[in-house]
Structure 1
Amino acid sequence: MNQYYQDNMLFGMNPSSYLHRYAVNGKVSGNLACISEIKNAAVVLYSPRGCGFHYRCHVRSGQSPVYDLECADLRNNDVIFGGEKKLTALLQKVEREQQPEIIFLLPSVVSDIINDDLAGLACSLQPQFKAKLVPITSQVFSHMDKSNGRKVLREKACQKQKQKFSSSAVYPGCGYVEVMDALVEQVMEPQSVEPLSVNIEAFVWGYNGEDKLQGMSDMLQKMGITVNAYLPAADLQTIKRAPRAALNIVRRKKWALAMEQRFGTPFLHVADMQEWHGIEGISDLYRQIGKMLGCEDAVEHVLQEEYERVAARYQELRAEFAKYKFCLIAHGIAYLPDALRVYQQDYGLPIEKIC
């Protein structure tokens, strides 16, 4: 997984987090963020050249510009009379030069307005190509709008159960989920389910995401659970075999709902990382996985061993933190309850002020 949060560590700020909360990200950036995780994939943006230039380097790709992004370079004549021939020639060039397993066709505002049928075109051209052609269907407004935001806050405020929170809101997810939906509908194939196996969505697990995913994989292996695929960070054949897993562990549930509907794969939605924080939160995560896979005893045995291994160091750090006073600077009021619980309860930090 690309180090999505590197800006925070290098500069002490994450411009994408502020853009996400206070602006509307272009969904092409979300498309590219998802596709950049897929091995041996190429991208053709069906747009004017300005879009192709702009999206080679944007906020989400600050550490890894998309230098090999290809653009159809639509002109006025193409918009009026159609750009199919130009697009076909470009796809042939991409396959010849890059030799990818998958070529993604991304729509743009222009292609959406003139209602070009990328799906139909890809279907008719597929026999000419060795690579799998995957057109992305624009889901129009991709950002989480205010009505969804209010719904999430209202449901969280009203929740009385002790179970982990997962809102009923479903939204496209800034272009990222458009690609995930396409993988479910166009690439994945029916499989015989392998018991005690999982797919893990390999995106937005916080700082040092790669290390966290590796740690999860190691823990699951001790429990007798195998990782079938990290999605979308896989090659074509692995993505095709994704429905072999008995459970999906996901951060965004829209594509997981589509996979459940098409292949019957259940999912565990990790909606808010702070809900699963600290020793208790992490233990709850694995207990929930064990319950859904029917291996609770094996999970509990490993959790007990791991707690005994880290308990002394954990208490030592809590005692060290307790010597100081802390000021909590939060993103906003909505984040305060979870943030206070994480820092006070899990870390043992005495919070004296809130900013």
Structure 2
Amino acid sequence: MKGVVGSGLFALLIWCGGGSRAWQASLAFATDRDGNWEIYLSDLRGERQENITRHPASDLYPAWSPDGSRIAFFSYRDGNAEIYLMDLRTGEVERITHNPSEDKAPCWSPDGSRIAFSSNRSGDFDIYAVELDTGRIERLTRSPGDDILPDWSPDGRAIAFASDRTGDFEIYVLDLRDGIERRLTDSPFLDSYPDWSPDGRKIAFTSMRDGDLEIYVMDLEGRIIAKLTDNELDDAVPRWSPDGRWIAYQFEGEGGGWRIGLIDLATGEGLELTGEEGWSAEPAWVPHLIASIAQPAQLLRLPWGELKLLGFREGYNENSGHSVGNRLSICIFGPRRRDSYRGGGRR
């Protein structure tokens, strides 16, 4: 289930394969169910899932571009961990980093112009950012420890990350305007995997402060607002849905191994998206609405509002479209701006 991005735009795509019914892709995640780690897409209930990378090397840590047209991930397909981009409209994969070190954990700037990532190219892991238009790479942190797992704030002004510069991993925020780094957590146990709320006022994170990995929410002063999970098994890697109603995360199954689940923040109820077929980890929400449709030109009634389908792009039909999954594209207006999307791209 996907809600509103910061711009107020929705993009609606049809995912179909050879005349099969359209379906809703809401999340990406990594799984080793096929024998090695691949990137999969899933609908909100876990009823339909699709392998989009299909490569013999390990592909991990998916991150959607702000316009939903591409997924960044890191892969060992060229020997060491590098950052790659997959264009979901064409299926083409582009290598973004070229360094003999390890480049991991990509995250997008809100405007889609840069990707932050963690790399040990200078010794310890630090946070870097690459400009996609030019390829220029900027080093953002220079601590004596490892700085990892960056997450860009919704307003683009800051990056949250985890660092063990003081001995154990804590959550920090880097202000990109002045370069000042501020420590948010102060626990003798691991605090990691920060994820900004859509309104930029809270951060969800993983912590071992109560004996095992659980998911917490804090404000920007480091005060704990909520403990979202509380059980004897590990819960980690929280990811807010863009409408702020859900958190996707990975949890330890009863028989061991990681699985993907959802938490409804209004009710506290959970939903399991993946089962026992291998390990599944690192969920990532599509940044705007991707919904299934049964009949063209119908009015879609969804929990967060209504959307009117305007029409198919000229020259497309049920059995045509783009190469990856034969995706069809339609044009739809968002509720706040008179912009439109066609073929996954902005017109």
Asked if these proteins are the same fold (TM beyond 0.5), I'd say no
Higher helix share: 1
Query: TM-score scaled by structure 1?
Result: 0.27
Higher strand share: 2
Of structures 1 and 2, the one with the larger relative CO (CA 8 A, separation 6+) is 2
Bigger radius of gyration: 1
Query: TM-score scaled by structure 2?
Result: 0.28
